């Protein structure tokens, strides 16, 4: 158990029905007792082990009532952090919350660091690291598919998968060590060959996880899409048409002077992030020279570029110039305004110049072909893989880089065996792989990594 007691306002600041001040640590109950009065349940500190009581927050300095509240009491170990937790459900206004929080701090708690509640849940063994990390994914989920992936991880499905894999490695390690301890040459050769084959299978499997992590990351962070093209081809119209039907949530990006708005649209459960760059038009950093109303930076950072042409303007030199630049990227060419012309000529022109281009014909104005465009975007996410199956997939970049290191460790094992290295060395590499894998669930992980992970969290979580 950690010594000090932490507190934070756990709900967003602003007006709301309720707002919660959360307290966790050995002193939580004692702190709450100093500032909470219940008319009916005078002995709650003694009698209430777990539950809710109605009463008032009172400033002990002058006995004035600050707010009418509900107090949730969750004693260790039956709480999120496994410590004593008290949550004060105030009215959701800035002043009652701030005032209550101040009283909590004056009564002996200290302000919690970002993510410190979840960090304590991890340190006290309530969650492993992968589960703790998923908490933030649940909070930030952008579509219900992203949510269900995060919740599976929170439930421990990923941890289970990792620990099963760790067990497999441990089993092989035990065999290698048995051969070291009881060397009998004919057994040795066949056992080691078998181990090598099994490790090759494991590498294959982990590489499959790494491959699927691309889709996982998209569910977690969103697929960055830009719509580029010459002025007036209908880019804004497409954006509006998609937003009208598919808007998921709107996030303001802090720190952007232009107030760019990131819009998330939900395409077949995939959170697709379209950045509205309308504000960029008047500034200098557009690719104005070639008449493309979108910043180069946005194009380069995108997962998919939607390059738009229209039936009226056709396929011009400018389009050709830009397409040459982006032809090796994930690219979908959109031919817009098919309500006023067939676009066949454009398709012929482009197809003569570029092979295997994905071309979608739409009318943003008349809502024609948008479903085909959505199919095309979604198919990029899975590129031939079966769509989001029930299997848990890796979505966190940290996990993916751990897996890559595990593969390196295992390749060292194979190399060691193939070069007839002493088995002691082989067993060290195998143990390294096992340990590296444990960084995902936190069974083997440094304090630095832990600190870095929880810094990403919001205050009060
Ligand atoms: P942007 O400059 O590329 O963002 O183009 P806008 O979305 O502002 O559209 C330019 C003009 O084309 C507007 O007058 C739109 O109404 C028109 N437009 C956009 N999409 C279509 C379409 O599918 N069919 C037709 N006929 N006109 C369209």
Check residue 386 and report its DSSP letter: P
Q: 290, 316, 288, 292: which is closest to 306 by C-alpha?
A: 292
Cα–Cα distance measured from residue 112 to residue 190, given in angstroms and rounded to the nearest whole number: 57
Known binding residue 301? Answer is: no
Helices (H), 222-333: 235-246, 296-301, 317-326
Known binding residue 461? Answer is: yes
CATH of 156-218+396-442, one of 1.20.120.430, 3.50.50.60, 3.40.50.150, 1.10.10.370: 1.20.120.430
| CATH level 2 (architecture), domain 223-382 | 3-Layer(aba) Sandwich (3.40)
Beta strands in 25-130 (DSSP E): 36-37, 50-59, 64-74, 85-92, 110-111
- Which residues approach ligand 1 with their CB closer than 6 A? 229, 231-237, 336-337, 339-340, 363-366
Q: 395, 382, 386: which is closest to 158 by C-alpha?
A: 395
Cα–Cα distance measured from residue 448 to residue 49, given in angstroms and rounded to the nearest whole number: 36
- Say whether domain 6-112 belongs to CATH 3.40.50.300: no
Known binding residue 87? Answer is: yes
Check residue 98 and report its DSSP letter: H
Residue 296: per-residue pLDDT: 66
Cα–Cα distance measured from residue 194 to residue 342, given in angstroms and rounded to the nearest whole number: 62
Tokens at 45, concatenated:
């500190």
The closest-lying atom of ligand 1 relative to the alpha carbon of residue 230 is 3
Give the distance (Å) from ligand 1 centre to CA of residue 236. Answer: 7
Residues 6 or more apart in contact with residue 246 via CB below 8 angstroms: 265, 266, 267, 272
| Sequential pLDDT tens for the chain (461 residues) | 457 999 999 999 889 999 999 999 999 999 999 999 998 888 999 999 999 999 999 999 999 999 999 999 999 999 999 999 999 999 999 999 999 999 999 999 999 999 999 999 999 999 999 999 999 999 999 888 899 999 999 999 999 999 999 999 999 999 998 888 877 766 677 888 999 999 999 999 999 999 999 889 999 989 999 888 888 898 888 988 888 766 654 444 433 333 345 678 899 889 998 865 543 333 444 444 444 544 566 777 889 999 999 999 899 988 888 888 889 889 999 999 999 998 899 999 999 999 889 999 999 999 999 999 999 999 888 764 544 556 788 999 999 999 999 999 999 999 999 999 999 999 999 999 999 999 999 988 888 888 888 888 887 78
Residue 253: per-residue pLDDT: 41
H or E element at residue 13: none
Tokens at 220, concatenated:
């977690």
Q: Where in the chain is the domain with CATH 1.20.120.430?
A: 156-218+396-442
Q: Where in the chain is the domain with CATH 3.40.50.300?
A: 223-382
The sign of the CA dihedral 208, 211, 213, 216 is: negative
Q: Are 321 and 229 in contact (CB under 8 A)?
A: no
Any long-range contacts for 44-50 (C-beta under 8 Å, 24+ apart)? 44/71, 44/73, 48/73, 49/73, 49/75, 50/74, 50/75, 50/78
How do 331-336 and 304-310 pair as beta strands? parallel
Give the distance (Å) from ligand 1 centre to CA of residue 328. Answer: 27
Q: 352, 342, 293: which is closest to 318 by C-alpha?
A: 293
Q: Are 122 and 442 in contact (CB under 8 A)?
A: yes
Check residue 292 and report its DSSP letter: B
Q: Is the ipTM of this complex over 0.90?
A: yes
Give the distance (Å) from ligand 1 centre to CA of residue 365. Answer: 7
Helices 129-140 and 423-441: crossing angle in degrees, nearest 10, is 40
Residues 6 or more apart in contact with residue 149 via CB below 8 angstroms: 137, 216, 219, 220, 388, 392, 393, 395
Give the distance (Å) from ligand 1 centre to CA of residue 268. Answer: 25
Known binding residue 412? Answer is: no
Residue 286: per-residue pLDDT: 42
Tokens at 397, concatenated:
């970049």
């Amino acid at each position: 158990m950690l010594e000090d007691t932490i507190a934070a306002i756990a709900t967003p600041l602003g007006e709301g029905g309720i707002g919660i001040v959360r307290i966790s640590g050995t002193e939580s109950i004692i702190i709450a007792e100093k500032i909470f009065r219940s008319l009916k349940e005078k002995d709650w500190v003694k009698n209430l082990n777990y539950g809710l009581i109605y009463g008032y927050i009172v400033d002990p300095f002058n006995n004035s009532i600050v707010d009418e509240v509900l107090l949730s009491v969750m004693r260790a170990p039956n709480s999120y952090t496994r410590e004593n937790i008290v949550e004060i459900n105030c009215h959701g206004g800035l002043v009652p919350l701030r005032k209550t929080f101040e009283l909590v701090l004056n009564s002996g708690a200290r302000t919690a660091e970002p993510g410190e509640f979840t960090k304590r849940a991890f340190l006290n063994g309530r969650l492993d690291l992968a589960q703790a990390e998923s908490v933030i994914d649940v909070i930030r989920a952008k579509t219900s598919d992203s949510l269900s992936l995060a919740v599976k991880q929170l439930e421990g499905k990923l941890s289970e998968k990792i620990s099963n894999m760790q067990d497999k490695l441990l089993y092989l390690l035990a065999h290698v060590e048995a051969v070291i301890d009881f060397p009998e040459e004919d057994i040795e050769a066949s056992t080691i060959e078998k181990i090598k084959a099994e490790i090759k299978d494991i590498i294959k499997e982990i590489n499959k996880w790494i491959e699927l992590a691309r889709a996982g990351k998209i569910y977690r962070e969103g697929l960055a899409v830009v719509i580029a093209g010459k002025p007036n081809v209908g880019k804004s119209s497409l954006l509006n048409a998609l937003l009208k039907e598919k808007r998921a949530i709107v996030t303001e990006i802090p720190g952007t002077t232009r107030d760019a708005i990131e819009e998330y649209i939900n395409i077949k459960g995939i959170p697709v992030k379209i950045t509205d760059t309308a504000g960029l038009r008047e500034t200098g950093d557009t690719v104005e020279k070639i008449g493309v109303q979108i910043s180069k930076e946005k194009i380069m950072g995108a997962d998919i570029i939607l390059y738009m042409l229209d039936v009226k303007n056709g396929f011009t030199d400018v389009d050709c110039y830009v397409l040459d630049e982006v032809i090796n990227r994930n690219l979908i060419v959109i031919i817009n305004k098919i309500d006023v012309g067939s676009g066949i000529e454009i398709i012929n022109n482009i197809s003569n110049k570029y092979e295997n281009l994905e071309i979608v014909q739409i009318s943003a104005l008349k809502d024609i072909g948008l479903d085909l465009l959505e199919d095309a975007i979604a198919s990029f996410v899975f590129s031939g893989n079966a769509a989001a199956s029930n299997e848990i997939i890796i979505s966190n970049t940290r996990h993916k880089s751990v897996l890559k290191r595990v593969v390196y460790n295992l390749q060292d094992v194979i190399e060691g065996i193939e070069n007839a290295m002493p088995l002691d060395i082989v067993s060290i590499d195998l143990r390294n792989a096992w340990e590296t894998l444990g960084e995902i669930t936190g069974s083997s992980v440094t304090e630095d990594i832990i600190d870095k992970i929880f810094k990403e969290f919001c205050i009060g979580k």
